Chain A
Amino acid sequence: MDLFGPPELWLPVAFAALMGVSILVYVCLDGYDLGVGALFPFADEQEKDRMIASIGPFWDANETWLVLAIGILLVAFPAAHGMILTALYLPVAIMLIGLILRGVAFDFRAKARPAHKPGWDRAFCAGSLMASLSQGFMLGMYIMGLEMTLFTLAFASLTALALTVAYSFIGAGWLIFKTEGALQAKAIRQARRGLWGVVVGLGAVSVASPIVSPRIMDKWISVPEIFLLAPLPLMSGLLIVALWLLLRNMPLVGDRLSWLPFALTVALFTLGYLGMAYSFYPYVVPERLTIYDAASAPESLFIILIGTVFVLPVIAGYTVLSYVIFRGKATELRYD
């Protein structure tokens, strides 16, 4: 237990890292299926079925990353869990209702009476939007230190839109990867437009965080940090340029590189996320509570860590297995 020094120092960091990874995986994975939901109104009947088919085997496991992330917040940083979630009471409730609606609409649309199908399609889209918007809103409030003023609400509304656009963008990337023909062409057009939304969103967060918090400003602007951190925005910029060039020339002959927009978007999300993580460390509630103050007792964290170290690779393994089994272009979903 003392291998890496005093556990009350490294255990909170380990759990913050675990939680960070879970949130990032969640944002990328559920991001694409929420994004597919947001693009739903622009599709015709057959395209809708194909879009659902592209996320069918995966969405449930994707959402489990949210449960893991919130579970780690709950078990490792109970004080922060209470503080954050009571402050975000209403957006959390809206997100949950959104997730409920879209999760079940998914099943109902194919099993209910055909006359009810359009209604469930609307519920799927509305639920996806509710979840994306409220997550973006919560992100904005979190960056603003969970303070409730007119300015923070306006900023949170902006991040709500930005995250929804970002999810639609990665959703379009997923559709480019998993579909073909007219639907793929449509997704490429949507991705071209969505890219600008992503740029605005990333820019807003990058500019606003240091303005709101002098501490974050210090962390980025001081020497030598500014040079060490420079690759982060530079690489993000390169990724955006690459995405722009790629999307302009897609689809390529023989469906080459159809996986690349999705992969580049994951890389872009990861960079943006790392930048945020760096800004907020060591705080779990911005400017109020550090991960060290909020952490549970070391012996309890240790028992979770042991389980995690053994189980997480297994989870990763069978998640990969499922993506291998359902590789290639999405075909119609059938139980037999």
Chain B
Amino acid sequence: MDTLLFSRIQFGANISFHILFPTITIALGWMLLYFKLRFARSGAERWMQAYRFWVKIFALSFAMGVVSGITMSFQFGTNWPGFMETVGNIAGPLLAYEVLTAFFLEAVFLGIMLFGFSRVPGWLHTLATFLVAFGTTMSAFWILVLSSWMHTPAGYEMRDGVAHATDWFAIIFNPSMPYRLAHMLLASGLTVAFLLAGLSAYRWLRDNRSDEVRLSLVTGLGLGAILMPVQILMGDLHGLNTLEHQPAKVAAMEGNWDTGGNVPLLLFALPDEAARENRAAIAIPNGASLILTHKAEGVVPGLNDFITEEGEVLHPPVAPVFYAFRVMVGTGVAMLALSWVAIGLMTWRRRGADALPRPILLALVPMTFSGWVATLAGWYTTEIGRQPWLVTGLMTTEQAVADVPAPMVATTLAMYLAVYAVLLAAYIGVLFHLARKSGSATPRPDPRRTGLNPIPAE
């Protein structure tokens, strides 16, 4: 084990932990704004009740996102100094704009959104909610611009081994940016859809049939049923874009070794990189060619094209990309099936959430965090799929790594993993605790809360 591998695992662990929470807060921010606006228009208390329940989860997720995000900004320097030294002229302004246009906006208005309800006029509170949602989305925009640029760099020139910006429009709207951004924002929407549906199903199963739970459940399922087909279309477009700009990644996703036509779609296989073949493959004939080129005889790139004559491997490790891609697609299919069956039943029986049979509700509970699984699997596909490059064609990951002793990186990695494991368990535990606490329609007085002072900082 060496510094490079530990550093990669550490960065991977940090960013994996981090992305869980923005994935929730981006879409949940807009969801809260939606609740608030529906309340403002109808005056129906249930919208505000839903707002009050979900804003707690938003606050907690936001805090997790902020603190894990601070870690990210230091990792560049502690572990990957070569990255900023080579492409800092491009990455720098993008990150700076993220801090300036997003971080402060979110952070300041979050305080007003959370604790200002009784202190500011209603419109200002709604505006604060909007600005927080807008800030989270801006943050996603800038960071995805940078991520996309690392996949499909454009608008720069190299001078003395350092990248210099030549065209900021080309840098920001680099070839993969629109697809990646849309794919990620939809992933956030779906994560929140199933978080809403899953946690509400849990509350419903615990006999909380209040209007607010009903509303969250139906909203979550409806959002999931609408966004999932859009996401499949978007994913397809993103895949075609990757085929054009990063064929090696697509070859790894498809587990295709030799370039050619009539490539089958592998539902399952064990890719063997040493033997350069797949074992135990279950395949649909011509499937990959059809999906990627829309023709049965269409040519799909193969991994063997990305080995230089000196034997240097310039394609990503196959197995992780191959499996991660299948986990993402599989989770997406499950999300599609469940949300459509649920919405179908509700429409057909015309009884709203009461139409949902127990097995559907029970299936929704473990799907609470299905969005996380799919999002992480998707990020692993695309990020591991970029290897061995850090910035495609410009610098490899190895070139950027810091000269820190491996045991030191291993120590901090162990520290981070321990903290993350505890926090993740606590986070999930608290979400279900909050769901239980508001379990009955009439809240039981908590003996600890009947003291003189109600517990502040909800």
Give A residues with C-beta under 8 Å from B. 46, 49-50, 52-53, 56-58, 60-61, 63-64, 66-68, 70-76, 78-79, 81-86, 89-90, 92-93, 96-97, 99-101, 103-104, 106-114, 296-297, 299-300, 303-304, 307-308, 311-312, 315, 318-319, 321-322, 325-326, 332-336
Given A81-B84, A100-B67: A336 and B52 within 8 A (CB)?
A: yes
Of B196-204, B378-386, B423-431, the segment with at least 4 beta carbons within 8 Å of chain A is: B423-431
- Specify which chain A residues have a CB less than 8 angstroms from the CB of B429 in the assembled complex: 112
Whether A85 contacts B107 by the Cβ 8 Å rule is no
Whether A71 contacts B96 by the Cβ 8 Å rule is yes
6 further interface pairs, Cβ-Cβ under 8 Å (given A60-B62, A71-B96) = A81-B77, A93-B78, A100-B423, A112-B433, A307-B100, A315-B105
Given A303-B168, A332-B453, A335-B117: A89 and B96 within 8 A (CB)?
A: no
Whether A308 contacts B100 by the Cβ 8 Å rule is yes
Whether B84 contacts A110 by the Cβ 8 Å rule is no
Of B53-61, B180-188, B272-280, B289-297, the segment with at least 4 beta carbons within 8 Å of chain A is: B53-61
Whether B76 contacts A300 by the Cβ 8 Å rule is no
Query: Given B164, B433, B448, B456, which contacts A332 in the complex, CB threshold below 8 Å?
Result: B456
Cα(A49)–Cα(B457), bound, Å = 8
Cα(A75)–Cα(B84), bound, Å = 7
Cα(A66)–Cα(B66), bound, Å = 12
Cα(A335)–Cα(B457), bound, Å = 8
Given A57-B115, A57-B116, A299-B165: A74 and B77 within 8 A (CB)?
A: yes
Q: Which residue of A lies closest to B77 (CB)?
A: A85
Whether A75 contacts B95 by the Cβ 8 Å rule is yes
Q: Which residue of A lies closest to B419 (CB)?
A: A97
Question: 19 A-B Cβ contacts within 8 A?
Answer: A46-B453, A60-B66, A78-B85, A83-B81, A85-B74, A86-B403, A86-B404, A92-B78, A93-B412, A97-B416, A108-B430, A300-B90, A300-B165, A303-B168, A307-B100, A325-B120, A332-B456, A333-B115, A335-B59
Whether B77 contacts A114 by the Cβ 8 Å rule is no
Given A99-B67, A311-B100, A335-B52: A67 and B60 within 8 A (CB)?
A: no
B228 → chain A, closest Cβ, in Å? Answer: 30
Instruction: Answer whether residue B261 sits at the interface, using C-beta atoms and an 8 A cutoff.
Output: no
Given A63-B70, A64-B104, A64-B107: A53 and B419 within 8 A (CB)?
A: no
Whether B60 contacts A111 by the Cβ 8 Å rule is yes
Cα(A64)–Cα(B419), bound, Å = 22
Whether A75 contacts B93 by the Cβ 8 Å rule is yes
- Specify which chain A residues have a CB less than 8 angstroms from the CB of B456 in the assembled complex: 49-50, 52-53, 56, 110, 332-334
Whether A335 contacts B115 by the Cβ 8 Å rule is yes
Whether B63 contacts A104 by the Cβ 8 Å rule is yes
- Specify which chain B residues have a CB less than 8 angstroms from the CB of A89 in the assembled complex: 78, 402, 404, 408, 412
Give B residues with C-beta under 8 Å from A. 52, 55-56, 59-60, 62-64, 66-71, 73-74, 76-78, 81-82, 84-85, 88-93, 95-97, 99-101, 103-105, 107-112, 114-120, 162, 164-165, 168, 402-404, 408, 411-412, 415-416, 419, 423, 426, 429-430, 433-434, 446, 448, 453-458
Query: Given B118, B426, B453, which contacts A49 in the complex, CB threshold below 8 Å?
Result: B453
- Specify which chain B residues have a CB less than 8 angstroms from the CB of A66 in the assembled complex: 70
Query: Given A57, A72, A101, A321, which contacts B96 in the complex, CB threshold below 8 Å?
Result: A72
- Specify which chain A residues have a CB less than 8 angstroms from the CB of B108 in the assembled complex: 61, 315, 318-319, 321-322
- Specify which chain B residues have a CB less than 8 angstroms from the CB of A318 in the assembled complex: 104-105, 108-109
Query: Given A86, A93, A315, which contacts B100 in the complex, CB threshold below 8 Å?
Result: A315
Main secondary structure on A side of the interface with B: helix
- Specify which chain A residues have a CB less than 8 angstroms from the CB of B74 in the assembled complex: 70, 85, 92, 96
Q: Which residue of A lies closest to B48 (CB)?
A: A336
Whether B85 contacts A79 by the Cβ 8 Å rule is yes
Whether B457 contacts A326 by the Cβ 8 Å rule is no
A296 → chain B, closest Cβ, in Å? Answer: 5
Q: Which residue of A lies closest to B90 (CB)?
A: A300
A19 → chain B, closest Cβ, in Å? Answer: 11
- Specify which chain B residues have a CB less than 8 angstroms from the CB of A71 in the assembled complex: 73, 95-96, 99
- Which of A46, A49, A111 has the most B CB atoms < 10 Å from its CB? A111
Cα(A283)–Cα(B252), bound, Å = 48
Query: Given A100, A101, A109, A297, which contacts B89 in the complex, CB threshold below 8 Å?
Result: A297
Cα(A103)–Cα(B119), bound, Å = 24
Given A49-B453, A56-B115: A76 and B77 within 8 A (CB)?
A: no
- Specify which chain B residues have a CB less than 8 angstroms from the CB of A104 in the assembled complex: 60, 63-64, 67, 423, 426
Which 4 A-B residue pairings sit nearest by Cβ, starting from the closest?
A82-B81, A75-B92, A85-B77, A57-B111
Given A89-B404, A110-B456, A311-B100: A296 and B63 within 8 A (CB)?
A: no
Whether A334 contacts B96 by the Cβ 8 Å rule is no
Cα(A97)–Cα(B412), bound, Å = 10
Whether A99 contacts B70 by the Cβ 8 Å rule is yes
- Specify which chain B residues have a CB less than 8 angstroms from the CB of A72 in the assembled complex: 96
Cα(A25)–Cα(B398), bound, Å = 36
Whether B89 contacts A300 by the Cβ 8 Å rule is yes
Whether B59 contacts A107 by the Cβ 8 Å rule is yes
- Specify which chain B residues have a CB less than 8 angstroms from the CB of A111 in the assembled complex: 56, 60, 430, 433-434, 458
B194 → chain A, closest Cβ, in Å? Answer: 21
Whether B76 contacts A74 by the Cβ 8 Å rule is yes
Q: Which residue of B lies closest to A308 (CB)?
A: B100
A51 → chain B, closest Cβ, in Å? Answer: 10
A319 → chain B, closest Cβ, in Å? Answer: 6
Cα(A297)–Cα(B429), bound, Å = 48
A14 → chain B, closest Cβ, in Å? Answer: 13
Cα(A262)–Cα(B295), bound, Å = 72
